[in-house]
Amino acid sequence: MKISMEWLREYVSLTESAETLKEELTMIGLLVEGVEPSATGPVLDIEVTSNRPDCLSHIGVAREVAALYGRRLEMPAVETEFEAASGEVPFGIEIRDPDLCPRYVGLLLDGVTVRESPEWMQRRLEAAGMRPLNNIVDITNYVLLETGHPLHAFDFDRLRGGKIVVGRAREGERMETLDGVGRSLDGQMLLINDGEGPVAIAGVMGGLDSEISPSTTRVLLEAAWFRPESIRRTSRRLGLSTEASYRFERGADWDNTVYSIARACRLIREIAGGRVAGSLKDVYPLKMEPPRIRLESAHIRQLLGVELDDGFVETTLERLGFRVGKEGGGGWDVACPPWRSDMQREADLIEELARFHGYQNIPAEFPPSRTAGAPSRVYALENSVREALAGQGYSEAVNLSFASPADHGEFLPPGGGERVAVANPLTEETEFLRSTLAAGLVRSAKRNFHAGRKRVCLFEIGKVYAPGADGTPGETNTLGVLGTGAFLERNWTSPEAEYGFFHLKGLLGVLFARLRIPSWETEPLRSCGWLSPADGAAVKVAGETVGVMGSLAPELEERYKLKQPVYLAELDLERLGRHAFAPIVYESLPKFPSADRDLSIVVGKEVAWGTIERGILSLGIRELAGIRLMDVYEGEKIPVGKASLSLRLTFLDRERTLTIDRVQDFMNTVLSFLNTNYGAGIRSL
């Protein structure tokens, strides 16, 4: 709201500079965002909060200023004579839906001359950000900016049947508004009709047919009060917000109707030369009363923590237009003014007192502690994941939670295409919620490739979304990891190490170790569309699938025009959390040395390492403390279709020193097992 200082001085004496006023109004809740120059001098740009429609006017702001400095509020002169001087021109007002329009005030003026408004008025309108049109329209706007009440002026000769009918529109009814737009209405919108059809959308905008024109001589002025929820709904449905709708939907003052029309009448008579032709009609089928609130001195102290004396309480409220009656028991009966639509409870009154006492004058005091405090349930898990991955050289990413239709076609969650659609997306990019973190991570990698990077290691912790069993959207906390490019960039000490599947798997090993998940495994997975069938894998803990990993599917690699393979993992953190943080039980360090034995075997390529490893472990050799795969060779030196695996077995007896013979016995057991079950030949020892 733009408030001209020169205009403001009409209602309250003011010696303060614009800068002082800016500071002091801000501290009572009228945030002055800036001071701008205008033809009338400095203009304050005030951000009025939605609970204070009364401050969307110069008088409203003047009332605050008067209360702040303890000065008189001077109300402008208004017309007091509303009887037609000669020959009453009849006009009618009928309210069909008083629930939406409890009060409608009309006044008919005759003999007006439509022309430019005087310069002082034009200057003030422009200072407040409005464009002057003609004197009649300007006067209604001027009164709007002065008293805060929206008025409408009809060309009376364009109203058919000489009457106003206020009622809900017919479903699908159409009318053309002042801005020249044809609008289709629904049955909940309130219309101002003449004898035949709509002439205005109540509280929002007038119709084109009855607008004031240079030939207008008879003007019907409207000052009404409309139900805020109704105006807001209409304005939203039509996508049409106006100075009028903005005020009505926040709550106008029903008693300001007669006053504002009287003010407009006075200005029209002075400026446009009119006279009253049809006397004031105040149709008020539903009488409205502002609330009376009981205010208790003890409650002021309770809420603010300061003691305010009774004189301050009474003066402050009275200056703001409240009527305050002292009652027994340390309290008051407070009648709120009708312009304060925000006053509903005692706390609202206490805020008024706090505003004028000054928030800065309430002493700060740290509240006594009576609670213990506790981190969130996911805090330990998320922080461990973050520390583990950042410690391994991965950077944490955050992508928007949305997905476009294309993302959804490309990155379907493993085993299903259920998705969560946004009912009112902003753009195509926000049509869905993401069902996987992979899409965002691949896009992030792509952006880094564009910036000239080859090595990109990212992780993201965030929700993915899917409809629950009952169809309502649900969310799952998830970890996504992406690695691509060089695991170690080429440098003067070593050549480049290309990032591969087993780097990612190694990272998961570190992660699971940090999360104290002692055993986990991967197995081939074909059902995840965005992973390559060559290395797509399910990640399992205790038989439960907790996620997937592998390289990006070749067709997506192509679609995203990627020049290097990209490896991805996605883990359900909620499932992972259930397995994480096994209790720490210290195991004493071995007192006897362990013995390593290397072994190379030749097996069919189809024999998975996991099978061999599980097989060896199933032999139940208690002294077998570890199995490592040291080398894999496929090539000329061994038969086609075979692979040579080098294993290192570590044996340890916690009770005594192992003898060479015992170790050899273990090795023989392992070898004969491998030979019998996988036809493994020993390549060398």
Partner 1 sequence: MRETISRLRQSFEEDCAAVTGSEDWKAVRDKYLAREGGLVTGALKKLRELPKEERPAFGQAMNALREFVEDRLDARLQAVKAGERDRKRPFVDVTRPGVPLAPGSAHPIKRLQAEIEEIFVSMGFEVLDLPEIERDYYNFEALNMPPNHPARDAQDTFYFDDATLLRTHCSSVQVHSMETRKPPIRAISTGKVYRRDPFDATHSPMFYQVDVIVVEEGLHMGHLKGMLDVFLKRVFHPGIKMRLRPGFFPFVEPGAEVDISCIFCSGKGCAKCKQSGWIEILGAGMVHPRVLEMSGIRDPRVTGFAWGMGIDRVAILKYGVDDIRLFFDNDLRFLNQF
Closest approach of partner 1 to the CB of residue 606, in Å: 36
Scan for tokens 């002026």, then name that residue. 153
Nearer Cβ to partner 1, position 370 or 561?
A: 370
363-392 positions binding partner 1, by CB under 8 A: 363-367, 369-379, 383, 386, 389-392
The CA-based diameter of the chain, rounded to the nearest angstrom, is 132
Closest approach of partner 1 to the CB of residue 166, in Å: 20
| Phi-psi sector, 87: left (phi>0), alpha (psi -120 to 50), beta | left
Q: Is 488 in the site for partner 1 (CB under 8 A)?
A: yes
Q: Is 448 in the site for partner 1 (CB under 8 A)?
A: yes
Nearer Cβ to partner 1, position 27 or 39?
A: 27
For 384, the token pair is 């461990």
Q: Which stretch binds partner 1 (CB under 8 A): 98-106, 150-158, 272-280, 298-306?
A: 298-306
> How far is it, in rounded angstroms, from Cα 359 to Cα 292?
25
Burial class (CB in 10 A: 0-12, 13-18, 19+), 403: buried
Q: Is 50 in the site for partner 1 (CB under 8 A)?
A: yes
Using CB under 8 A, pick the residue from 192, 457, 552, 602 that binds partner 1. Answer: 457
Nearer Cβ to partner 1, position 87 or 471?
A: 471
Instruction: Give which of 289, 268, 297 is closest to 117, Cα–Cα.
Output: 268
Q: Is 494 in the site for partner 1 (CB under 8 A)?
A: yes
Instruction: Give which of 473, 499, 477, 476 is closest to 488, Cα–Cα.
Output: 499
> How far is it, in rounded angstroms, from Cα 106 to Cα 224?
8
Nearer Cβ to partner 1, position 395 or 611?
A: 395
CA 520, 524, 529: angle at the middle one, nearest 5? 115
Closest approach of partner 1 to the CB of residue 512, in Å: 18
Using CB under 8 A, pick the residue from 85, 400, 582, 619 that binds partner 1. Answer: 400
Alpha carbon 5 to its chain centroid, in Å, reads 36
> What residues contact residue 245 under an 8 Å CB cut-off, 6+ apart?
203, 204, 205, 231, 232, 234, 235
User: First-to-last CA distance in the chain?
Assistant: 89
> How far is it, in rounded angstroms, from Cα 677 to Cα 681?
11
Scan for tokens 């044996």, then name that residue. 651
Q: Which stretch binds partner 1 (CB under 8 A): 68-76, 110-118, 300-308, 624-632?
A: 300-308
Nearer Cβ to partner 1, position 447 or 591?
A: 447
- The SS3 call for residue 619 is coil
Using CB under 8 A, pick the residue from 15, 80, 215, 493 that binds partner 1. Answer: 493
For 643, the token pair is 């692979």
Closest approach of partner 1 to the CB of residue 487, in Å: 9
403-422 positions binding partner 1, by CB under 8 A: 420-422
Q: Is 333 in the site for partner 1 (CB under 8 A)?
A: no
Q: What is the DSSP string of 421-448?
A: E-SS-SSGGGSEE-S-SHHHHHHHHHHH
Q: Is 648 in the site for partner 1 (CB under 8 A)?
A: no
Q: Is 559 in the site for partner 1 (CB under 8 A)?
A: no
Q: Which stretch binds partner 1 (CB under 8 A): 212-220, 355-363, 592-600, 630-638?
A: 355-363
Using an 8 Å Cβ cutoff, are 514 and 388 in contact? yes
> What residues contact residue 676 under an 8 Å CB cut-off, 6+ apart?
none
Closest approach of partner 1 to the CB of residue 354, in Å: 5
Residue type, 244: A
> How far is it, in rounded angstroms, from Cα 580 to Cα 506?
18
Closest approach of partner 1 to the CB of residue 205, in Å: 18
Closest approach of partner 1 to the CB of residue 377, in Å: 6
Scan for tokens 């003007």, then name that residue. 219
Nearer Cβ to partner 1, position 374 or 589?
A: 374
Distances (CA, A) of 381 to 479, 508, 560, 672: 11, 14, 33, 44
Using CB under 8 A, pick the residue from 96, 131, 345, 591 that binds partner 1. Answer: 345
Q: Which stretch binds partner 1 (CB under 8 A): 259-267, 490-498, 541-549, 676-684?
A: 490-498
Q: Is 402 in the site for partner 1 (CB under 8 A)?
A: yes
Q: Is 492 in the site for partner 1 (CB under 8 A)?
A: yes
Alpha carbon 359 to its chain centroid, in Å, reads 28
Q: Which stretch binds partner 1 (CB under 8 A): 147-155, 267-275, 470-478, 608-616?
A: 470-478
Q: Is 347 in the site for partner 1 (CB under 8 A)?
A: yes
Nearer Cβ to partner 1, position 390 or 542?
A: 390
Distances (CA, A) of 336 to 63, 290, 358: 15, 6, 21
202-231 positions binding partner 1, by CB under 8 A: 228-229
Q: Which stretch binds partner 1 (CB under 8 A): 109-117, 162-170, 346-354, 514-522?
A: 346-354
Number of residues that bind partner 1 (CB under 8 A): 99
